[in-house]
Amino acid sequence: MNEAGLQMIRKIREAEAAAQEGVQKDPWRLKFHLMPPAGWLNDPNGLCQMNGVYHVFFQYSPFDPCGGEKFWGHYTSRNLTDWEYAGVPLAPDEQFDRSGVYSGSCLIKDGIMYLFYTGNVKLAGDFDYVTQGREANTVLVESRDGRTFGDKKLLLTNRDYPADYTLHIRDPKVFALEDRYYMVLGGRKKNDCGAVLLYESCDLENWRFCRELTVPMKFGYMWECPDLFCTGGKWFLSLSPQGLPRKEHEFQNVYTAGYFQVNGDFREGCRLEDFREWDKGFDFYAPQTFTDESGRTLLIAWAGLPDVEEEYVNPTIESGWQHALTVPRVIREQNGRLLQYPVPELEALRGERQEVRAGEAVYCAPAFDLIVPVDEKGGAGASGVKDSKLSITIADALRFTWDGKEAVLSFTDAVAGRQIGAGRGRTQRRALISGIQEVRILADTSLIEIYVNQGETVFTTRFYPMEDTRRLLVEGVYAKAGVLWPMCQETE
């Protein structure tokens, strides 16, 4: 890192140290989800495993919990449960990334880590910042040990992108296939359609534009964070599109994230089929996958969203931090759909197992793991709640219900138009689900992940319950007795 970068790092260390007290005593601080040491976090970046060590980099604005200039922060772990913060490896210290080290990915080859990212530059002046006034530079940094990072190499600049694109091009995801490397970049075209750019290389440094991956009809104006990957023998293109019209059961958030199945060989022309949303909750964006050393496809996403009002009212801001990542999820292909389920490593964090009977409220720890089997013929512990087939209330604040057709996740204390309560102004999210056999809820102080049917449908949501409302209630004629574990209990 150059002198300008080192100076920034010194300031970051000071900011992190100064924020510690506030962050540590925040009741909504997370116990097993990755959150920023100080300030703001967004996308997961550079996910990989090298020599047994998992690396999670992330978009990091350490000076302000409401965001700002972007750096990469870095966490490492050997087991996906004990994480160590490893500082800031990338700072905006060059001309070509001076307005921010934006998102990117990692490729491991011969024990070397190749990190690709977008160097964001915003020029000063009277520009629209769409077709003028910005640079999107694609940059490479290598690391042999995962701790020290080499010089930045500028690979692609505005001149290397096709003429029918605006200057919104970013988030390189790189992978190897046969004797080649491929890079996908997300983009916004001049006709205001989102699309992905595919590049090819033999040496990871010289890249040639191959083709565009998109759909015939406009599907949003910008595609961020593309990810082209193969799992279960099938190829998928994941992305975070912006500008999709909101529907009753789809695209309920300002922006969404989902995937197309890739029909045909992406190198020769292919069709993108059946876009499916990854997640139906309030907070999910910019997911990234990687293959770990045991061959699993794992996914981590930002459990948050850009450009929403909550980013100014989330209660953790007062404590000096904002946002978190989801837990790592194993991705499994099933009939062209991708199921997501928490990595089994997390089960090591479970405390003593407890049975939960339908209709009987229990105390739940701030972090817990709950599994409720569902039986449409009527559960053993059926409670007499009228009209309710399945209802799970968490901390008296958040309720998940299912009526046999539609699942609804709602904040029980929401007041229309007011950013108060456990949801800070959010109300409900809905999904059509024709059958439920099981619901698993992984809750961590202020972040909840609900997995229906082993990850067929998932809801990820931040919530901010009061400390004295830690009741959990499973009800409904379909609910059977469940099991509950406290997570991450402090040992005496």
Active site residues: 43
Non-local (6+) Cβ contacts of 91 within 8 A are 1, 4, 5, 8, 9, 12, 71, 101
User: Which of the 8 DSSP states describes residue 23?
Assistant: H
Distance of CA 234 to the CA centre of its chain: 22
As measured in angstroms, the least distance from the Cβ of 467 to ligand FRU is: 31
- Number of neighbouring beta carbons within 10 Å of residue 74: 22
171 is a contact residue toward ligand FRU (CB under 6 A): yes
Residue count at the site for ligand FRU (CB under 6 A)? 14
Nearer to ligand FRU, 16 or 43 (CB): 43
Residues 42 to 101 in contact with ligand FRU, rule: CB under 6 A: 42-43, 59, 70
List 225, 257, 365, 488, residue binding ligand FRU (CB under 6 A) = 225
278 is a contact residue toward ligand FRU (CB under 6 A): no
H or E element, residue 3: helix 3-24
Residues 104 to 163 in contact with ligand FRU, rule: CB under 6 A: 118
Q: Which two tokens stand for residue 377?
A: 């013929």
Name which of 328, 162, 332, 341 is nearest 236 in CA terms.
332
439 is a contact residue toward ligand FRU (CB under 6 A): no
List 49, 103, 138, 326, residue binding ligand FRU (CB under 6 A) = 103
Residue 191: exposure state from Cβ atoms within 10 A (0-12, 13-18, ≥19)? exposed
As measured in angstroms, the least distance from the Cβ of 220 to ligand FRU is: 13
As measured in angstroms, the least distance from the Cβ of 244 to ligand FRU is: 15
As measured in angstroms, the least distance from the Cβ of 305 to ligand FRU is: 8
Residues 238 to 267 in contact with ligand FRU, rule: CB under 6 A: none
228 is a contact residue toward ligand FRU (CB under 6 A): no
Name which of 310, 463, 326 is nearest 399 in CA terms.
463
Q: Which two tokens stand for residue 279?
A: 């997640």
**DSSP one-letter string for 122-187:** E-SSS--SSSSSEEEEEEEEEESSSSS----EEEE-GGGS-TTEEEEEEEEEEEEETTEEEEEEEE
Nearer to ligand FRU, 181 or 255 (CB): 255
Nearer to ligand FRU, 221 or 341 (CB): 221
As measured in angstroms, the least distance from the Cβ of 378 to ligand FRU is: 44
286 is a contact residue toward ligand FRU (CB under 6 A): yes
429 is a contact residue toward ligand FRU (CB under 6 A): no
As measured in angstroms, the least distance from the Cβ of 285 to ligand FRU is: 6
Query: Which stretches of 258-327 are assigned E, i.e. beta strand?
Result: 258-263, 271-277, 285-291, 297-302, 321-322
Nearer to ligand FRU, 225 or 372 (CB): 225
Strand partners, 227: 238
Nearer to ligand FRU, 277 or 396 (CB): 277
Q: What sign has the CA pseudo-torsion 40, 45, 50, 53?
A: positive
441 is a contact residue toward ligand FRU (CB under 6 A): no
Bridge-based pairing state of the strands 39-50 and 321-322: parallel
170 is a contact residue toward ligand FRU (CB under 6 A): yes
* SS3 of residue 18 by DSSP: helix
As measured in angstroms, the least distance from the Cβ of 311 to ligand FRU is: 12
The residues of the shown chain that bind ligand FRU, judged by CB under 6 A, are 42-43, 59, 70, 102-103, 118, 170-171, 224-225, 285-286, 306
